[in-house]
Chains A and B, each alone.
Chain A
Amino acid sequence: MIRLNLVLLLAVMASAVYLVSVQYESRRVFTELDRARSESRRLEAEYERLQVEKRGQATPARVEKLAREKLQMRQASPAITHYVTYSGSAGADAAKGETP
């Protein structure tokens, strides 16, 4: 009887110690998860910020200015555009030499 009680006592003690360590581990992991989550939020926000910045660098105003000043480009007009029609039979048209 006493032996059984002793075994049970030991089992309870072991279980209690294990519980404490699991609790500790779970809290540690939870903190880590929480940190990872906030890091992911931060990175998302950073991504959004960079997207906006990229967009800010590619606004029509800036593109136009650079094209005009740096690359000496000018606005296309229908007068300097060659229009081609594209359809399923485009290949056939081209073969016949009919470019509209």
Chain B
Amino acid sequence: MSRSIQYTSSPLLASRTPVWRSKFVVGAIALAFFGLAARAAYIQVVANDFFQRQGEVRFARTLDLPANRGRILDRNGLILASSVPAPSIWAIPEDVDMDKAQMQRLAKLLEMPTADLAKKLDDEDKTFVWIKRQVDADVAKQIAELNLKGIYQRKEYKRKYPEGEAAAHIVGFTNVEDNGQEGVELMFNKTLLGRPGMRHVIKDRLGRAVEDVGEVIPPVDGQDLQLSIDSKIQFFAYQKLRDAVLVNRAHAGSVVVLDAITGEVLALANYPSYVPDKRKNLTGEQLRNRALTDTFEPGSVMKPFTVGLALNKGRVKPSTVIDTAPGSVTIGGATIHDSHAHGALTVEQVIQVSSNVGTAKIAMQMPASDMWETFSQAGFGQKPQIEFPGVVSGRLRPAKTWRPIEQATISYGYGLSASLFQMARSYTVFSHDGQIIPATLLKNSTPAQGVSVFSPATAAEVRHMLQMAAGPGGTGPKAQTIGYSVGGKSGTAYKQVGKGYGSDGNRKYRSWFVGMAPIDSPRVIVAVMLDEPSAGKYFGGEVAAPVFSETVQQTLRMLGVQPDMAVRPQIVATAVEESF
């Protein structure tokens, strides 16, 4: 009896079950529980990470929070570049099931031939095809309304440039990945980009986010960038330049407008230009920012520096007489000429009529190193400190290597090279009381701190000479403009054709004008350059000076500068009697 377990007190029901059997059952159940416990421990403790991860993969999602690219604004806060939503259209060719009419409507909305669209959707093996990237928001909306199977949209952003071609060279553009490729977009790419954020969420069956997990890293939007450009001045400068390039059948042209007080670039335009939103068939010619990347011999524009140096050192006075007869001078075996022989000229007149001989004679009184120093201080041969990609420094050889004839030619601007922008900036020496000031593309309303090159008195004397040069009897009277006194220097140079400067029949020219207004206390410096004008006229004073005149007129008006010269009013002030 002891060998069995008693389940009941009734002897009738007593079964003779061996004890080991019930022990076995208890043991088996205990073992099963132990197995469960072990499994639970395995899941909860040992392999916890793995299961946690597997779970997360099924419901947790990491969402990128894109940062907006900063806007580019002009000095008045008007938009020059901004990102707008532009969805990209893509498809899964296998799922696409369109009839002909639908296909045609889609193709029409996308502005692409139906055949092209059909071709893109032809390859059924592919699981992803871009149909068109970055379409306008309106078009995307209409496509969404068509409700086509297998056609999807992806949220993307696109840069818009409302100013179009007028400001294209300054602002530049971005590529489809939103990275700057040219201009300010490239130079300040980092500032504009911002930093994308991130968040982890739990999604439900329907793909809705139901819970944030952990910390949300908010996106940091790119900073807005305010340029010194005034979009109105920029437009007018571009317009006048374009007209002049077309009228003179020139190859290209550039214009630079600088604020003479703060050193800000108010406008910088080149022609030919391009529309930044439509960049198909873009050529290098259109892309080049000539004002900053093309260098040429500055010619007569340099003469005021040579004369300024002589005045500053006390070698000459504005009234000192220089004999330029017979219109040529021989230095070290080489002869230099004036285009017209002038005889005896005062220093003022040397600048006014732009005499090479007179300038050379003044230059030969001074050591070459002094000239080199002054020109370098004025920024020639130095890389301009401006925030822009591809800026060139031009060329000014060290004074030690100058032969006497070279010193003479360099004094009137041959044998060195500079960009139009460098020339414009160098003239701040005259406009800013003898100080060269740094130029900037960013808005900055405080007067710039300059480095002194000449004394204020010298700067004023040279300004007077520049005014004479742009006046009657000077080389650039067409630079004058109604109401404002102007001063400036024109330049014309033969372009190198092959090895030389070309023979009489096929000479190519470059013409430019650099000047400032109003002359007594200059507000703006304007530099204009036309490349290969070929409609007959080619002197800087005839081709570039009119652009200067119109640009100065518009710019000063827009800056609200009151005319400093008497104007014969043409206001019709006769009132008509009212009749009752």
Contact = CB atoms under 8 A, between A and B. Distances in A.
Interface string B70-102: 000000001100111100000000000000000
A59 B137 contact: no
A30 interface: yes
A27 B562 contact: no
A82 B569 contact: yes
A51 B83 CA distance: 11
A69 B157 CA distance: 35
Contacts of B482: 77-79
B567 interface: yes
A30 B162 contact: no
Contacts of B164: 59, 61
Interface of B: 78-79, 82-85, 137, 157, 160, 162-164, 166, 204, 208-212, 231-232, 235-236, 239, 482-484, 553-554, 557, 562-563, 567-571
| Interface of B, helix, strand, loop or mixed by DSSP | mixed
A52 B569 contact: no
B163 A49 contact: no
Pick the 6 closest A-B CB pairs, nearest first. Answer: A78-B483, A60-B235, A27-B210, A49-B84, A56-B162, A55-B162
Nearest to B160: A52
Contacts of A45: 84-85, 157
B84 A48 contact: yes
A31 interface: yes
A27 B211 contact: yes
Contact of A30 (B163, B209, B231, B235): B209
Nearest to B206: A31
B562 A83 contact: yes
Interface size class of A (residues with CB under 8 A): 20 to 34
Contacts of A60: 166, 231-232, 235-236
| Interface of chain A: mostly helix, strand, loop or mixed | helix
A76 interface: yes
A49 B137 contact: yes
A99 to B, nearest CB: 12
Nearest to B78: A55
8 contacts: A27-B211, A51-B79, A55-B78, A60-B232, A79-B568, A79-B570, A80-B570, A80-B571
Interface string A48-68: 110110011001110010000
Nearest to B208: A31
B185 to A, nearest CB: 15
Contacts of A51: 79, 82
Contacts of A48: 82-84
A46 interface: yes
Contacts of A26: 211
B413 to A, nearest CB: 33
A31 B236 CA distance: 52
Given A48-B84, A61-B239, A78-B482, 10 more contacts: A27-B204, A45-B85, A49-B137, A59-B164, A64-B235, A77-B482, A78-B484, A78-B563, A79-B567, A83-B563
Nearest to B230: A60
Contacts of B85: 42, 45-46, 49
Contacts of B562: 83
A55 B239 CA distance: 19
B162 A80 contact: no
Contacts of B563: 78, 83
Contacts of B231: 59-60
Nearest to A27: B210
B162 A79 contact: no
A24 to B, nearest CB: 10
Interface string A69-89: 000000111111111000000
A84 to B, nearest CB: 10
A49 B83 CA distance: 8
B213 to A, nearest CB: 12
Nearest to A35: B208
Nearest to B163: A59
Contact of A77 (B157, B239, B483): B483
A65 to B, nearest CB: 10
A83 B567 CA distance: 11
Contacts of B484: 78
A27 B208 CA distance: 9
A89 to B, nearest CB: 17
Given A55-B162, A78-B482, A34 B209 contact: yes
Contacts of B84: 45, 48-49, 52
A61 B482 CA distance: 24
Contact of B211 (A30, A46, A64, A78): A30
Interface string A7-48: 000000000000000000011001100100000001001101
A51 B80 CA distance: 11
A79 B571 CA distance: 7
Given A48-B82, A55-B79, A80 B166 contact: no
A46 B211 CA distance: 27
